[in-house]
């Protein structure tokens, strides 16, 4: 392995090892046991998790994963690794031997943040940019990445030199990448009445307690709409993927999709800017389940615009970000 003084650790959420109930159960146990993800009192939550969610949800969710699984594995893992390879290729083309070494870790599952930081260190990396693939900050996602870096620090005598990217929701080059992707899509599929920005939801209470996620989402959507020159009635924001009975950020995506056709919006484009990489929540929930909701409610045309994934534009702005943060 080449010695390299700097590194980039792309961190994504994680995904089951296989589209089976057992593997999904293991993933959900790890993920939903994180107090950053679910903040309700511990004892009550553990009863719900072990008594209601883990016995029943994995079977249903495994079926959904099976419908999007590829020969290479879970789309989230395949596309995250492809993005890392393309980012590495770009950085190496720019800087040769001295380019930062790019690695991938997952908050839940393998390889972990701790493991990859030790791999980078063994490869001679002295300074690492930890880059959670969440454009909008939330304690439920990016907060956990910080926790895992802090745990590595706490367990180290010679602590690693880490730079952590808190968010990138308002970077002009990220916004521009979304705009380009929408324009490219619309050139091939013109005629939508409206563009729906569907962000992953979080509980309303988290925002009331100070999580800036909602504000970041609204900021991204407005920036994109402004550059596209959309009028107010030509774009909407909604929040998807809620779990449980508590109130989450509103309006909910599924309710919005039921409502839009009655307002005369029959042709819709949908984009999910909270996801850097396509995954279960976009490929199945948005592109399959929610498509049905819209079409069954009187909608006529529903176009899902993919995440930035391993596109040139995503690689371009991540390379800019790396250059800025690592110098
Ligand atoms: C229970 C609370 C959850 C919060 C809060 C939450 C926030 C959140 N999640 C993402 C990104 C992803 N979530 C994904 C799947 C997923 N999310 C939850 C729950 C919460 N997410 C569950 C239970 C699941 C698993 C699937 C299911 O059981 O429905 C994924 C996809 C993983 C994949 O393998 O494809 C991503 C990515 C964000 C960005 C976010 C808050 C900002
Ligand atoms: Fe989630
Ligand atoms: Fe979902």
Residue 213 lies in a domain: yes
120-132 mean pLDDT: 97
> pLDDT at residue 119 above 90?
yes
What dihedral do alpha carbons 129, 130, 132, 138 form, nearest 10°?
Answer: -110
Question: Smallest Cα–Cα separation from 121: which of 145, 94, 95, 152?
Answer: 152
Average pLDDT over residues 37-49: 96
3-state secondary structure of 240: strand
Reported confidence tier of residue 114, pLDDT bands at 50, 70, 90: very high
Residue 3 has pLDDT above 80, yes or no: no
Give the closest ligand to the alpha carbon of residue 61.
1
Find the mean pLDDT for residues 267-282.
Answer: 98
Task: Report the residue among 28, 35, 167, 243 best suited for mutation to probe ligand 1: largest number of ligand atoms under 8 A from its CB.
Answer: 243
Orientation of helix 75-95 relative to helix 312-326, angle to 10°: 60
On the question of pLDDT at 165 being above 70, the answer is: yes
Q: Are the beta carbons of 276 and 171 closer than 8 angstroms?
A: no
Residue 283 lies in a domain: yes
Quick check: CB of 272 below 6 Å from ligand 1? no
Please tell me the number of Cα atoms within 13 Å of 10 on its side-chain side.
31
Locate the ligand 1 atom nearest the alpha carbon of residue 244 and give its number: 1
Looking at residue 4, what is its pLDDT?
54
Q: Is 264 exposed, middle or buried (0-12, 13-18, 19+ CB in 10 A)?
A: exposed
Assess if residue 286 is contained within a domain: yes
211 within a domain of the structure (yes/no): yes
Which ligand is located closest to the Cα atom of residue 241?
3
Distance 255 CA to ligand 2 centre (A): 18
Is the beta carbon of 137 within 6 A of some atom in ligand 1? no
Does position 1 have pLDDT exceeding 60, yes or no? no
CB 166 within 8 Å of CB 130: no
Question: For residues 36 and 151, what is the distance between their CA atoms, to the nearest angstrom?
Answer: 14
Per cent of the chain over pLDDT 70 is 99
pLDDT value at position 204? 98
Q: DSSP secondary-structure letter at 203?
A: B
Tens of pLDDT, residue by residue over 288-323, are 999 999 999 999 999 999 999 999 999 999 999 999
Rounded mean pLDDT, 1-11 = 80
The pLDDT score that the predictor gives to residue 72 is 98
Best residue among 200, 242, 286 to mutate for probing ligand 1's pocket (most ligand atoms within 8 Å of CB) is 200
Instruction: Give the mean pLDDT of 232-245.
Output: 96
- Joined together, the tokens standing for residue 14 give 């994680």
- Mean pLDDT score of the chain, rounded to an integer? 97
Give Cα 131 distance to the centre of its chain: 12
The model scores a pTM over 0.90: yes
237: exposed, middle or buried (Cβ count in 10 Å: 0-12, 13-18, 19+): buried
Is 253 within a domain? yes
6 pLDDT above the threshold of 80: yes
Q: Are 270 and 303 in contact (CB under 8 A)?
A: yes
Closest CA to 175 of 232, 221, 235, 237: 221
Tell me the helices (H) and strands (E) count for the chain, helix number first. Answer: 13, 8
| 123: in domain | no
CATH classification at residue 203? 3.40.50.1400
Q: What's the number of domains the chain is made of?
A: 1
Q: Does residue 2 lie within any of the structural domains?
A: no
The CA distance from 174 to 314, in Å, is: 7
Strand order from edge to edge, sheet including 6-12:
101-106, 6-12, 127-132, 161-164
Structural domain containing residue 243: 172-305
Helices assigned H by DSSP within the chain: 21-32, 42-48, 54-68, 75-95, 113-122, 142-154, 172-188, 204-208, 213-228, 253-259, 280, 290-296, 312-326
- What would the pLDDT profile of 191-230 be if each residue is shown by its tens digit? 999 999 999 999 999 999 999 999 999 999 999 999 999 9
140 CB near ligand 1 (under 6 Å): yes
């Amino acid at each position: 392995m080449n010695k390299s003084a700097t590194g980039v650790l792309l961190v994504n959420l994680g995904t089951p090892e296989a589209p089976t109930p057992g593997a999904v159960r293991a993933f959900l146990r790890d993920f939903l046991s994180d107090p950053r993800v679910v903040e309700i009192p511990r004892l009550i939550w553990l009863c719900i998790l072990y008594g209601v969610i883990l016995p029943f949800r994995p079977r249903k969710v495994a079926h959904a994963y099976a419908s999007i699984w590829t020969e290479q594995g879970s789309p989230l893992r395949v596309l995250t690794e492809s993005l890392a390879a393309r980012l590495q290729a770009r950085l190496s083309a720019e800087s040769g031997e001295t380019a930062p070494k790019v690695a991938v870790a997952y908050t839940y599952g393998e390889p972990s943040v701790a493991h990859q930081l030790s791999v980078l260190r063994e490869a001679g990396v002295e300074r690492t940019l930890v880059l959670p693939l969440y454009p909008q900050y939330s304690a439920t996602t990016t907060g956990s990445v910080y926790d895992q870096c802090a745990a590595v620090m706490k367990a180290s005598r010679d602590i690693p030199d880490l730079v952590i990217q808190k968010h990138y929701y308002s970077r002009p080059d990220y916004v521009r990448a979304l705009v380009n992707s929408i324009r490219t899509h619309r050139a091939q599929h013109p005629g939508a009445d409206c563009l729906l920005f569907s962000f992953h939801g979080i509980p309303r209470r988290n925002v009331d307690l100070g999580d800036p996620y909602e504000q970041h989402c609204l900021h991204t959507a407005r920036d994109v709409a402004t550059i596209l020159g959309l009028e107010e009635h030509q774009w909407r924001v909604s929040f998807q993927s809620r779990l449980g009975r508590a109130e989450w950020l509103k309006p909910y995506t599924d309710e919005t999709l039921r409502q839009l056709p009655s307002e005369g919006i029959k042709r819709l484009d949908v984009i999910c800017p909270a996801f850097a990489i396509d995954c279960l929540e976009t490929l199945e929930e948005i592109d399959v389940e929610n498509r049905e909701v819209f079409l069954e409610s009187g909608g006529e045309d529903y176009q899902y615009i993919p995440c930035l994934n391993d596109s040139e534009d995503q690689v371009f702005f991540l390379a800019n970000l790396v250059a800025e943060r690592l110098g």
